[in-house]
């Protein structure tokens, strides 16, 4: 098949492109490089079945494809709040453009939705039937409401135009190729621990999250896309729940770090708890995550340690060097 991955140069998108190429598909990676990096996909550029398009999903595009994974959207609070209006446009106009494309070329489309559609949940753990508790005027709303409206659009295009849709509600996912400076907790803690700096624990650290390693998530996304008739939203995450304080201690231990924990103010509307019920994914897709946090963190720490080592050995302005090399190969 020919498969379009929007946001394909990002953290999850680059792993997905890699997996789809391994399965023998042609892959078109579309990205505006807001939070994506050329080096995430640099190793794929020589594959003749891989094509890279610099494009913004808020503008329409016409491509002949069989499947669309719509991942384009910044995912970390720091990045999606940086230009909140643009985040809404990316989620909503991006969904409209990709659904329009899917309708026109009869492609199946999967939307990367999020556990943020549950907001600060009052039902715990979260089943797909839960409608959520979102502050529509808060600082997370550009992302949460944008993603909720994208789900609405998916269901309406399905009901009205018979577009063949899939909705993955992704819970916190981590792994190699996360941006080291994107403010998400896993990357922050690892970078801080590797530099023996204090880990910035927001609030009391008693808030919880459930962390899924990226390989497990990719397996789930591909299974969902290829399951027949799976039009309802499906939670995708690792149901093992940790407090953020537990995560901090584990990262310090695994890094063999001398870091301590520093308590910082809790950001506005920070959800207190989050844990998916994944019964639907188990039944529909026979999918369950296998990689425990300790093992996934070890892979992720090794990746970040490698990047720090590489950056130390680079000349003063490594980014411009990287751009020169990659731009020659960009299609």
CB 23 within 8 A of CB 67: no
Helix (H, G, I), strand (E, B) or coil at 46: coil
Residue 35 binding target from ligand NAD, ligand UDP, none, CB below 5 to 8 Å by type: ligand NAD
Of residues 228 through 247, those in contact with ligand NAD by CB under 6 A are none
202 binds, among ligand UDP, ligand NAD, none (CB under 5 to 8 A by kind): ligand UDP
Neighbours of 290 (CB within 10 A): 11
201 binds, among ligand NAD, ligand UDP, none (CB under 5 to 8 A by kind): ligand UDP
Paired with 209 in beta bridges are 242
Q: Catalytic residue among 69, 80, 143, 157, which?
A: 143
Burial class, 45, CB count within 10 angstroms (exposed 0-12 / middle 13-18 / buried 19+): middle
**CB closer to ligand NAD out of 10 and 119:** 10
* Whether residue 143 lies in the annotated active site: yes
157-186: which residues touch ligand NAD (CB under 6 A)?
A: 170, 172-173
Tell me if residue 133 falls in helix, strand or coil: strand
E-state strands within the chain? 2-6, 26-31, 50-54, 67-70, 108-114, 165-170, 173-174, 199-202, 208-210, 212-213, 233-236, 241-243, 261-264
Torsion of CA 303, 304, 307, 311, to 10 degrees: -170
Contacts of 106 (CB under 8 A, 6+ apart): none
Q: Which is nearer to ligand NAD, 59 or 260 (CB)?
A: 59
Closer of 133 and 161 to ligand UDP (Cβ): 133
- Whichever of 60 and 262 has its CB closer to ligand NAD, that residue is 60
Return the residue of 32, 126, 188, 273 that touches ligand NAD, per CB under 6 A: 32
The binder of 77, among ligand UDP, ligand NAD, none, by C-beta within 5 to 8 A per type, is ligand UDP
244 interacts with, out of ligand UDP, ligand NAD, none, CB within 5 to 8 A per kind: ligand UDP
- Write out the binding residues for ligand NAD, residues 66-95 only, by CB under 6 A: 71-75, 90, 94
Instruction: Render the burial of 183-214: b for 16+ CB within 10 Å, e for the rest.
Output: ebbbbbbbbbbbeeeebebeeebebbbbbbbb
Contact status: 220 vs ligand NAD (CB under 6 A): no
Residues that bind ligand NAD (CB under 6 A): 6-7, 9-13, 31-36, 56-58, 71-75, 90, 94, 112, 114, 170, 172-173
Catalytic residue numbers, as ranges: 143
């Amino acid at each position: 098949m020919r498969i379009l991955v929007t946001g394909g140069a990002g953290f999850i998108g680059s792993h997905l492109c890699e997996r789809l190429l391994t399965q023998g598909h042609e892959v078109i990676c579309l990205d505006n490089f807001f939070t994506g990096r050329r080096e995430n996909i640099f190793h794929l550029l020589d594959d003749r079945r891989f094509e890279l398009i610099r494009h913004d999903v808020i503008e329409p595009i016409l491509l002949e494809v069989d499947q669309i994974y719509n991942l384009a959207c910044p995912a970390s609070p720091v990045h999606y709040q940086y230009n909140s209006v643009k985040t809404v446009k990316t989620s909503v106009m991006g969904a409209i453009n990709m659904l329009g494309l899917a309708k026109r070329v009869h492609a199946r489309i999967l939307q990367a939705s999020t556990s943020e559609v549950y907001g600060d949940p009052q039902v715990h753990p979260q089943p797909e039937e839960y409608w959520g508790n979102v502050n529509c005027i808060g600082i997370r709303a550009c992302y949460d409401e944008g993603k909720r409206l994208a789900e609405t659009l998916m269901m309406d295009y399905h009901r009205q135009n018979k577009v063949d849709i899939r909705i993955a509600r992704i819970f916190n996912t981590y792994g190699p190729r996360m941006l080291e400076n994107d403010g998400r907790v896993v990357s922050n803690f690892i970078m801080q621990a590797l530099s023996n700096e204090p880990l910035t624990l927001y609030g009391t650290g008693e808030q919880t999250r459930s962390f899924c390693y990226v390989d497990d998530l990719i397996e789930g996304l591909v299974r969902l896309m290829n399951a027949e008739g799976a039009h309802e939203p499906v939670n995708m995450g690792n149901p093992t729940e940790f407090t953020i304080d537990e995560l901090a201690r584990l990262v310090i231990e695994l890094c063999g770090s001398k870091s301590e924990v520093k308590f910082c103010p809790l950001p506005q509307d920070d959800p207190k708890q989050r844990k998916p019920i994944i019964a639907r994914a188990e039944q529909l897709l026979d999918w369950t995550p296998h990689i425990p946090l300790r093992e996934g963190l070890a892979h992720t720490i090794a990746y970040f340690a490698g990047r720090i080592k590489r950056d130390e050995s680079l000349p003063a302005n490594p980014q411009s060097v990287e751009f020169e090399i990659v731009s020659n190969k960009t299609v």
